Structure 1
Amino acid sequence: MTVVDSRPGGPRTSRQRKREALERLARDKDVWVATADATGEPCLVPLVFWWDGETVWLSTRDTNPTGRNLCASGRVRLSFGHSRDVVLVHGTARVLTREEVSAEVGDAFAAKDGWDPREDHPSYVFFQVTPQVLQAWGTASEMAGRTLMRDGKWLV
């Protein structure tokens, strides 16, 4: 089966995909967060996020599976958008307690969605995710060249 690109003008350039990926990171409210435990048991949940221009900030309880997995391995995959316009980030996460996160980060995170984890249950912590690989594509015609960042460095 051949998938026809439904975008007017065909596949986007890498520069256009980077621009649109950055717009999505600034605009979207939620992200799918994929982690795994030490045995490989996967966990996939939607979380609110905030993009600071370089890293993605998440908050969840350190006692739930996602929090435990992030604390243990620091490895995460984030999926923004939908299957016909996806931004996929492979990243490393570092944990910060409510007391460790700066007021600027906590305030910006809370302002984006109206929820402040610092005022919620004490088990909420923050995770700062540094992208190592970022890919963006729509349909099969954009699979080539979908990697826009590798080893934390933009390729475009």
Structure 2
Amino acid sequence: MTGAPQAETLFTPSDATPMSTDESTVKPWRDARRCLETAPKIWLSTARSDGRPHVMPVMAVWVRDAPYLTTRPTSRKGRNLIADPRCVITVSCDDLDLVVEGIARHTTDDDEIRSVSSAFLSKYAWEFTVGDGVVRDDGLPGAPEYFFFSITPTRAFGYGADGLTATRWRFTEEP
């Protein structure tokens, strides 16, 4: 993701909604990013092959201007993301409820994997072993393999703590 997304009010006066249409209530993307960076967990929504939704809490880190999450490739969410990378992540912070639509990308570059692994160690004290594009947790029986996924936002929505303000962010580089 390069550059800041376009921020705007989610509703206009013609929408006849109790939500604010005051442009001064538009939140900057840096507020949404801070929420994603500092949240202890986020909620990941994916779709099963038959279209049914699947939602799970996951831990996430912010690296190279994007949120990253980890899961085992054989987990439901891992299989869903491999089959269909479209996803939604949600999180609630003190002053912002955030919904981010995006595209997940399985990270395979060793340097990128090391950066993400380091971020997980720093934020969660979760240590991974990295080598030849493979990520493992040697602290668990059988040293299971994990995948890292970056999420490229395509659209996001932020709702203020007051329940009356809403911001939509449109990203110019949709995959």
Instruction: Identify the TM-score tier after normalising by the shorter chain.
Output: 0.7 to 0.9
Aligned to 1:132: 154
Task: Give the count of matched residue pairs.
Answer: 145
Provide, for residues 14-59 of structure 1, a one-character-per-residue CA deviation record: whole Å limited to 9, x for no partner: 1x35332122122112100000112012111000000125211000
Q: Secondary structure at the match of 2:59?
A: strand
RMSD of aligned Cα (Å): 3.0
Contact 2:46–2:81 (Cα < 8 Å) also in 1 = yes
Match of 1:13 among 25, 37, 48: 25
Return the offset for 1:116. Answer: 2.7
Match of 2:67 among 34, 44, 56: 56
TM-score normalised to the size of structure 1? 0.77
- Is 1:107 aligned with 2:118? yes
Identity fraction in percent: 28
Q: Which letter maps to 2:171? A: R
- The gaps in structure 2 that reach 5 residues or longer are 1-16, 130-135, 138-142
Q: Which runs of 4+ in 1 moved over 4 A?
A: 2-5, 97-101
**Structure-2 separation of matches of 1:107 and 1:63:** 23
Shifted more, 95-104 versus 66-75: the winner is 95-104
Return the offset for 1:12. Answer: 6.6
Q: Which letter maps to 1:103? A: R
Contact 2:156–2:168 (Cα < 8 Å) also in 1 = yes
- The gaps in structure 1 that reach 5 residues or longer are none
Shifted more, 43-52 versus 84-93: the winner is 84-93
- Is 1:47 aligned with 2:86? no
**Structure-2 separation of matches of 1:116 and 1:67:** 19
Contact 1:135–1:149 (Cα < 8 Å) also in 2 = no
Instruction: State which structure, 1 or 2, has the greater radius of gyration over its C-alpha atoms.
Output: 2
